[in-house]
Amino acid sequence: MLYPMFMMVMLTYVVMLITVRVRTSSVRRGEVPMSYFSVFQGENIPEMVHKTNRHFDNLFEMPVLFYLAGLLYIALDLSDPFPITCAWAFVVFRVIHTCVHLGYNNIRHRLVAFTLGNLCVLAMWISIVISGAG
Between helix 62-75 and helix 81-102 the angle, nearest 10°, is 160
Say what percent of the chain tops pLDDT 90: 84
pLDDT per position as a tens digit, 22-42: 999 999 998 988 888 878 777
pLDDT per position as a tens digit, 51-72: 999 999 999 999 999 999 999 9
CB 27 within 8 A of CB 46: no
> What is the rounded average pLDDT of the residues 64-86?
96
